[in-house]
Every structure is written in structure tokens, then in C-alpha cells.
Structure 1
Amino acid sequence: MKTLQPIYMEKFACIGPQCEDTCCANWTISIDKKSYKKYRKINDLDFKEKFKSGVSKNKTLSNSQDSFFARMNLNDQGQCSFLTEEKLCGIQQQYGENHLCSTCAIYPRMVNKLNDSIEKSGLVSCPEIARLALLNKEGIDFKVVELDKKTTFLNGELSTNLYKEDSIERNYWDIRYFIIQVLQNRSIKLWERLLYIGLFVQKLQETKNESVQVHSVVSTFKNNLVAGNVSDLFKNVPVNLEMQFKVLKLITESRSIEGIHHPRFKEYYSKFLNGIKYSNENSDEENFKNYNISLEHFRKEEENYEYIFENYLVNYVFQTMFPLNTEGDYLKEYSYLILHYSLIKLHLIGIKSSLEDSFSDQDIVSFIQSFARNIGHNKAYLNKVYNFLKENKLNNLGSYSLLVKN
């Protein structure tokens, strides 16, 4: 089957025991109904014992939710019962890949279907994917390949011909292609690229309620990009560090981030707090002053790291089918894109101050991997930050411009 994927996927292979992380640690692992029944039929006594204590049915779910039929019970270390001492999957090791449940079989890949084509990418919550995807200074390129293996599980699916001619869904290929084109245009500062995408998404949102043609919107924004007029649109955008500090306070005062137990993320979180010298015993003025010092330290070398942020954003846009969602609220998806970028950057400002001269590209990638694993997949925490912005009437393009510009 024809599959569109980033070129880095051709290089990916699980490094198993050499990996610094464990795929199944501290996560909810759903088991589909078909796999559950397959496990029930295995007669091996050791397997039966692990299955009995290590798997629970989701009794509250309806019959239509077969993908979440059961779940793995994690042990005191937050690990799956079937994990071997070598940090390998015991089910795959003993019974083969065809015995893996959909969740385990697909990770760390994201698989979507756009019309008749499969789209496959990697999740940067996997350390090896993070290195391959983010450390390419030339940027992420894509390639169509023929894959023999049939895909049975999809994260997302879109059939554009089911939508009206001038709808966003019908024109999704052109829309996403343009968004990635903007993100990879290095003649423009990254914060300007993000705001230009925000204007674009905002205009697309308006086409749902007004008689504005999607084709016309895409064409206008493409012409502006080619003409080199993008930076002029944002030359009067003010810098508002107080706005950034408000979000920073929300992060630092969330002492118990929902569902996060990952040791490396906790280590980075401590470095973040140490780097910005944040303390509840300090006045807001003192904490703000310390944040500014760390920010100035970060800004001196920020351009050297932009390619990593760019790669993260391109990967995110491709695999989430950005900015689509079931609600038709495209600006909400843009909000989440900005939150991912802003939260990563805010943490790294403190981490760089803490590590000082030893701070490197590898540290950025290592932090982003732990962020993606613990916050990027943590809807509860992201919703908490989003709702904070919404309650304070900060979930708009004007406020996001203040959040991303230093």
C-alpha cells in the first residue's frame, strides 16, 4: 500500500535494551477485544498467572468501544507485567508480533489514512524517534513508499470526497501542505511562522460561518508568503513577558501534574525550577526578575535551536492531521499547537540556566522526549493550561502572539 512518511521512518528500528526508556512504563495500555480473547486462549501457566493479575476488563465501556475492551495493570514500578528483565515485551518475545494488542503493535508509530493513502510517522515520546526526527538540521522531508504490511489500526482517517467542494476537509491536502511549507520557511523567524499559521487558521475558521472561499484563502496566504510580506505583518507585535510569566506561574504552581511519574521528567522539572530560581517564598517581582535573567541567557543562542522546534512542529502537524478536529474548532487545535511550543520553550529557558555551558541539542531532544511522553500525551494537563487561558480570555491570536514573542 502507498504510504507517505517522513524519511526518518526508514531509519527507525527499536533499540530494545539499549533504550533509556520503556515503552509501556507509567501509561494506560488499552487492550482491544480481539487481542483479549487471543490472550485468554493461551494455555501456558506462567502466562495465565500474569494475565490474571496483569489484565483487567473495562466493564463500564459499551460494546462499540472494542479498542478499549481491557487494560494492562501496571506494577509498583509502573511497568507492564509482561515486561522482561531486558526491558523487552514478553508477549512479542514468546508469541510473536501478531499477538500484540493494537496499542502495543502500533507504538511508537502514528498511522492515519487520507483518502486511499496511508500516512505513517513516529511519536517523539520514543527516544530513538525523537533523535531521528528532531536532530536533522536540514528539516523533515517526506517520501511515498510501498509497504507490503497491511495496516489494521488507524489513529485517524479522512475521506475528503465526503465533504462539499469548498470545505476545509475537501481541501485538506493543500491546507496542510501549506502549513508545513510555512513552518519550514527559515527566512522568517519561527515565532512569525507560528503567528502566520494562526492568521491562516483563523481565516479558515471564518469560512465555516461566512461566504469566504477556502481556495481564495489558501491562495492569498500563499501569495503573501512568496512575496516575502510575512514579517511586515508582525513588526508591531509587542513583547509581553508578563503574559509568559503568568503561564510559567501556572506550570510551577501545579505541584502535582496529573499522571506524571516519569523520573527523567521530574529531574528536568527540578532543573527548570532551579534555573529560573522560582520559589513561592519569593515575591512575584523577584520571580519575574529571575525569569528575565534566564530568558536573556536563553535568547543568546535561541536561533541555534530553532531547527529542533521546527522539526517538532512539522512532525506534530503531520501526524495529528492539524488543524482538523471532530468539533470543527480549528482555532482550538491551533491553541494546542502553541501550548506545545510555549511549554517546551518555557521549560528549556530554566533548564538551560541550570545546566549552563553543558546545555546542548541533545539536552533539548531528551527534554522534548520526556515532555511528549508525560505532557504531550497528557490531555488533562494541557486542558488545564488551555482552560486557564480561556478563563482569562487569553485564548485568542492576540494573546498567543504575546506568548510566543520574546
Structure 2
Amino acid sequence: MRRFECLGNGCEDTCCVGWRVDIDEETYKKYRRLRHPELSPLLERSVGRNRSNPSTGNYAKIRLKTDGTCPFLTEERLCRIQLSLGEEYLSDTCYTYPCIYNEVNGVIEKSATLSCPVAAKLALLNPEMMEFDEVEEPLYRPGIIKSRLNTADLRWANRPQRYFWELRVFAIDILQNRTFPLEDRLILLGMFCHKLKEYVDSGRVKDILSLIETYKRVVADGAIRESLSRMPAQPTIQMKLLKELADQRFPFVVKSARYLQCFAECLHGLQYTQEAKMEEIGERYAQAYTDYYRPFMDEHGYILENYLVNYVFNNMFPFDRKTVFDAYIMLVVHYALIKLILIGMSAFHKGLTLELVIKLTQSFSRTVEHNTAYLNRVLELLHENGYDTMAWMAVMIRN
């Protein structure tokens, strides 16, 4: 985050097209008071009150142009408001992007969404383990905090949130344990989250620290490696399930040309057509994994590790969903969908490059992670079909 710097119109993508932009109440009132010969009429036409469940954070919204472009984007792909008035006139949404701010026990946590190409490169391409620094810097806008948690609050006395820090640190430790393959780390984390849900459901919250210590010993002992290695890969079932989940995205209008191109390359690479037999597609999928995807990831496995750690940190995992196991399911869905598309892209390109992986991961984050309706639908689909089990999660993870 210390090295992050927006490239402006030099960026390979733009955050000013295709997204609804909420306007906070304070910024909206600034716009109403503004007397500017060029901007005031444009603000009057393009910023309207949010009449559906408004709050101080989404008090109003920008009306996008018919092509999904922000009306304040200039021909040079710069923000007209910032150019004319300065960044203090940006809404909280535009002012903070791509940064994400959470507050835990009174401490502000700053991270970034990887839908920004610059943030994606900085976060994913560092082969060293992702680290977390504590620094002092001013927080200019209190309203930009996404989530708050005080683990000492009495309402969490008998809830797992009381042990948020211990759970998060343990999750990140597992994901960064490079003595295990990444897919084994994900399965280990799932086994823990499944047991954690059992503890929560049965009222054994006070035993969570003991559970963490038990799993630490299991990981350190290493005896579980053999049982993990015996888990079978089911590429045809995996690919069919993940393709169904990926297809759920398209009823929600996709505006990212980069993501559409990546998805099309995946389908072409696997020769995925209506006429093709699923078994044949599954064989091509397995072959692409062996020939192209795995050799690349054997050398650059830190990329998806960094993705998962960043996800855990900025989503306040495992409390970003109704249950801790639902939170784990969504972590796996993100990982597995990225892997599916990369395997297909590797078949199309006869290999992978860092540029291709960044292109897919960034456009995936932009298209999928920012669409709450889609993610909720995916979780519903998994629940409805009984795919919300550890066995099915292993199928999605294991190749």
C-alpha cells in the first residue's frame, strides 16, 4: 500500500466505467452548494438522490451514461471533478478506491481491492510472503470505514467474533505455510472451518482457542499429508460445477471487456461447445492443467497465495458471511473460478504468463467480487444443490 500510486489515464483499465457510484451525504450537499459555470449544470443532471434505502454512505448516486461511462470522465480518461475542484470534492467511493478500510479494536486496517491493475500487480507479483505493517497516518474521512469490529464488546462474549484475531492469524498462517501445496492448505483451512462451525453451533465457543491449538499441532506434525495426497481429483465434475457457477454471472450484465475476453479464451482453449461431450472437455481440462497450468504455478504459486491472503484480510474472514463455513465456501469459490479460467486460458495460449494471470485476476475481481447479487446467488445455488459440504469443496479445489 505504501508503493501504490494511481496511474490515471495511463492505466490499462478504468474504474470510471461500468460501476454504480454512490455519493455520500456530505459530498452530495457540497455539490448542491457548488456554483461552478461548467460543473454545476452537469452535477445537477448527473447526480440524483437514492430513494431506495438511502444512508449517509449511499445518499445519492451518479447516473451513468448509456454506455456505462461516468459522465465526469473526460476524453483524456481523467476525472473532471478532481481536475476542476481537487480530490476533496470526490465522493467517499471515488476518494478511497481501490483502498479498503476496516476498523478492528480501534485500529484502522488499510488494504486494496485487486480490481485495480496497479493494486493487483503490487499484491500478487511479490514472491515474498505478504506482510502487515503498523504505521501512523491520518484518516481524513471517518465515513470510509467498511466494517467495524470490537472483539471486547459484550455482545461477542459468547460468539466466535471474540476470537477474531486468533482465527484470522491462524487462517493466514495456514495459507502461507509453503511446506504444503496451496490446494492442501485450502483443504486444511476448510477442515478447520467445518469443525469451527460445529463448535459454534453446539455452543462450544470458549473451546475455540483449544481447537486452534489442535489444528496447529496437526499441521506441524505433518502426518495429515498422506491422507491429503490420497484425495482423488475429479476434473470433469470440477469443471462442470465451476462452469455452472461461472455462467451464473452473465445474467448480471458484464461490462468488463477484459474479463469477457479471458472467459472466451478459456472456452476456446477447452473447446467447450454445446456439441462437445463433457468427458472430452474434462480430459482437455485435465491435460491443460498438467501441461501448462501446473508448471507455471509450480514456479509462481505465490500469486494465488497472495490473492487468498489479501481476500482474508480485507474481507475480515471468517465473519464476512452468515456462518464461518459459508465464508470459507466463498473463499473457495473465488479461488476455484480463477483457477478454472486460468486453466482454460493456458490451453488457449499454450502456456501462462504473469501478464495473463494479472489480466484475469484483476478483471475477475472487477466483475465478480464487486457484484454482491451474483455472489449471493452462487451461495444460494450451492446450498440448494447440496454442494455446501467439505467433500464438494475438496472437489472444487483438488486437481
Q: TM-score range by the shorter chain?
A: over 0.9
Tell me, yes or no, if structure 1 residue 158 matches structure 2 residue 158. no
Seen in structure 2, the aligned counterparts of structure 1 residues 209 and 390 have a Cα distance that, compared at 3 Å, is closer
Matching residue of 2:161: 169
Whole-Å Cα distance in 1 between the matches of residues 315 and 146 of structure 2? 9
- Aligned partner of 2:381: which letter? F
Q: Residue 180 of structure 2 aligns to a residue in which SS? A: coil
Matching residue of 2:124: 134
The match for 1:370 among 355, 360, 363 is 363
- Aligned partner of 1:384: which letter? R
Seen in structure 2, the aligned counterparts of structure 1 residues 166 and 69 have a Cα distance that, compared at 3 Å, is closer
Aligned length: 394
The match for 1:191 among 183, 187, 191 is 183
Per the TM alignment, residue 364 of structure 1 is displaced from its structure 2 partner at its CA by 0.4
The match for 2:195 among 181, 199, 203 is 203
Q: Residue 108 of structure 2 aligns to a residue in which SS? A: strand
**CA deviation vs aligned residue, 1:296-347 (integer Å, no higher than 9, x gap):** 32234332232100000000000000010363x1111111000000000000
TM-score by length of 1: 0.92
The match for 1:38 among 30, 35, 38 is 30
- Aligned partner of 1:201: which letter? C
- Aligned partner of 1:59: which letter? R
Matching residue of 1:316: 311
Whole-Å Cα distance in 2 between the matches of residues 251 and 386 of structure 1? 9
TM-score by length of 2: 0.93
Seen in structure 2, the aligned counterparts of structure 1 residues 280 and 104 have a Cα distance that, compared at 3 Å, is same
Q: Residue 155 of structure 1 aligns to a residue in which SS? A: strand
Whole-Å Cα distance in 2 between the matches of residues 181 and 155 of structure 1? 24
Matches within 5 A, 1:37-186: 37-62=29-54, 65-152=55-142, 153-163=144-154, 164-165=156-157, 167-186=159-178
Q: Residue 119 of structure 1 aligns to a residue in which SS? A: strand
Seen in structure 2, the aligned counterparts of structure 1 residues 116 and 252 have a Cα distance that, compared at 3 Å, is closer
Whole-Å Cα distance in 1 between the matches of residues 298 and 159 of structure 2? 37
Seen in structure 2, the aligned counterparts of structure 1 residues 166 and 15 have a Cα distance that, compared at 3 Å, is same
Deviates more, 1:336-345 or 1:173-182: 173-182
1:274–1:354 contact (8 Å) kept in structure 2: yes
2:235–2:285 contact (8 Å) kept in structure 1: no
Per the TM alignment, residue 251 of structure 1 is displaced from its structure 2 partner at its CA by 4.9
Matching residue of 2:349: 355
Deviates more, 1:102-111 or 1:279-288: 279-288
2:22–2:60 contact (8 Å) kept in structure 1: yes
Seen in structure 2, the aligned counterparts of structure 1 residues 175 and 255 have a Cα distance that, compared at 3 Å, is closer
**CA deviation vs aligned residue, 1:269-308 (integer Å, no higher than 9, x gap):** 1111111110012233333333233233223433223210
Q: Mind listing any 5+ residue stretches in structure 1 that lack a counterpart?
A: 1-8
Q: Mind listing any 5+ residue stretches in structure 2 that lack a counterpart?
A: none
Matches within 5 A, 1:275-290: 275-290=269-284
Per the TM alignment, residue 76 of structure 1 is displaced from its structure 2 partner at its CA by 3.0
Whole-Å Cα distance in 2 between the matches of residues 349 and 277 of structure 1? 12
Matching residue of 1:3: none
Whole-Å Cα distance in 2 between the matches of residues 149 and 376 of structure 1? 25
Q: Residue 208 of structure 1 aligns to a residue in which SS? A: helix
